[in-house]
Amino acid sequence: MVTDMEKHGFIKIAPSILAGDFGHLAQEAKRAEDAGADSLHLDVMDGHFVPNLTIGPQIVAAINRATDLFLDVHLMIYRPFDYIERFVEAGADNITFHLEATEDVEETLSYIRKCNIRAGLAFNPKTSLSMIPRYLNKCDVILLMTVDPGFGGQSLIKSVLDKVKFVRDVCDQLNIRAGGITMKSNPSLHSALPPIEPFDIQVDGGINQKNVRFCVEAGANIIVAGTSLYRAPDMRIAIQELREAAEKSHDN
């Protein structure tokens, strides 16, 4: 279970710039920063793994020059391993790739971490989570897609919330904390250490101020939102409302 101390700063809001104005990406990045975002989510699509094309490392580098926000790069591309270095050089602070996109899951996670940034593993809504226990201690975040990846503006697939709960339960059972670190069951062994935060579970797709509570109740703590933040009349208010709805449900 998550304690009161651990709740502080637990929910993170990550606007997805995919819903922003691609004619003014630098300003759109700054807009998220000024509106109080915790990180900026960048969707990279290759037209093969998903039927859409978006941005590459050059654009990520340009966005990096425009903002101090933590850059969360979500690769929806085949052969993610081959592109890690270029996205790291571009300023990625986290790289998440899809389990479905490569045979080299462990090598890719480990290489991302070797580059001194955070590593994430993403699952499509229909993908089995049976391999989850094998990867939890090798990554920093699990991303559960709440839509079929490829496009913004879709509706959240509610059945994924059971999967979120499943991952949170596995983390609790195995005592897996932030960064995939396992806490030993004997508290005296780590009583002198600072508390380690819970493992990060991210959700992405179709999330808004009305349904975010279901995601958080299921156990997610990093909330990606494109349309509901970038297309809102005032992004600061939209982030505030999303955060309040998320944190409120967490208290219940």
Note if 43 is an active site residue: yes
21 counts as catalytic = no
**Contact window for ligand DX5 (CB under 6 A) among 78-86, 152-160, 176-184, 213-221:** 152-160
> Which CB, 194 or 233, lies closer to ligand DX5?
233
43, 46, 72, 200: the catalytic one is 43
Binding part of the chain for ligand DX5, among 60-68, 80-88, 187-195, 218-226 by CB under 6 A, reads: 218-226
Contact 222, 186 (CB under 8 A): no
Nearer to ligand DX5, 16 or 176 (CB): 16
The DSSP element (H or E) to which 75 belongs, if any, is: strand 70-76
What are the structure tokens assigned to 31, written together? 């807009």
x/- mask, Zn ion, residues 29-68, rule CB under 5 A, reads: --------------x-------------------------
Taking CB atoms, the residue at the shortest distance from ligand DX5 is 226
**Looking at 31, 74, 98, 243, which residue binds ligand DX5 (CB under 6 A)?**
74
Nearer to ligand DX5, 42 or 88 (CB): 42
**Which of 154, 211, 240, 249 is the binder for ligand DX5 (CB under 6 A)?**
154
Place of tokens 């479905």: 100
Per CB under 6 A, 46 contacts ligand DX5: no
* Options 72, 169, 204, 251, the catalytic residue: 204
Return the number of the residue (92 or 176) whose C-beta is nearest ligand DX5: 92
Cα 9 → chain centroid: 15
| 79 φ, ψ (degrees, to nearest 5) | 50, 50
- Distance (Å, whole) CA 111 – CA 104: 11
167 binds ligand DX5 (CB under 6 A): no
Upper half-sphere CA count for residue 211 (Cβ side, 13 Å): 17
Q: Which residues of 46-74 are buried (b: 16+ CB within 10 A; e: fewer)?
A: beebbeeebbbbebbbebbebbebbbbbb
Q: Note whether 178 and 200 are within 8 A (CB).
A: yes
**Minimal distance in Å, beta carbon 180 to ligand DX5?**
22
12 binds ligand DX5 (CB under 6 A): no
Residue 175 CB neighbour total at 10 angstroms: 13
| Residue of 40, 112, 224, 242 interacting with ligand DX5 (CB under 6 A) | 224
169, 129 contact by CB (below 8 A):
no
Which amino acid is residue 7, in one-letter code? K
Interaction between residue 240 and ligand DX5 (CB under 6 A): no
Active site residues: 43, 204
